[in-house]
Amino acid sequence: MKKLVLLFCFLCISGSLLATSMKLDSVIREQKYQALFGNKPLGLKDQKDLNLFLKSCDESFGSRKEAASFFAERAWEYVAEGKLDTASFRFNYVNALDPLSVDAYWGLGVVTFSRKNNPLAIQLLEKALSLDSTQSTLRVDLASVKLSCFLQNMSCGTAEEVESLLAKSLQQDPKNANAWMKRAQVAYYLGNIENAWTYFHECRQLDILQLDINFSEYLLQKMPDPKGFFKLKE
Task: Decide which of 18 and 47 is more confident.
Answer: 47
pLDDT digits (tens, 9 = 90+) for 29-49: 589 999 999 999 999 999 999
Q: Are 121 and 35 in contact (CB under 8 A)?
A: no
The conformation of residue 72, written as its DSSP 8-state character, comes to: H
Instruction: Give the span between the Cα atoms of 162 and 154, in whole angstroms.
Output: 13
Residue 29: what pLDDT? Answer: 56
pLDDT digits (tens, 9 = 90+) for 95-130: 999 999 999 999 999 999 999 999 999 999 999 999
Please report, for the chain, how many H helices and E strands are present, in that order. Answer: 11, 0
Q: Are 196 and 163 in contact (CB under 8 A)?
A: no
C-alpha to C-alpha distances, 124 to 116, 120, 205, nearest whole angstrom: 13, 6, 32
Predicted confidence (pLDDT) at residue 139 exceeds the cutoff of 90? yes
Our measurement of the distance from residue 209's CA atom to the centroid of its chain's CA atoms, rounded to an integer in Å, reads 19
Residue 198: what pLDDT? Answer: 97
Residue 12: what pLDDT? Answer: 31
Which residue in 159, 160, 165, 113 sits closest to 135, CA to CA? 165
C-alpha to C-alpha distances, 61 to 69, 71, 89, 96, 145, nearest whole angstrom: 11, 11, 20, 15, 35
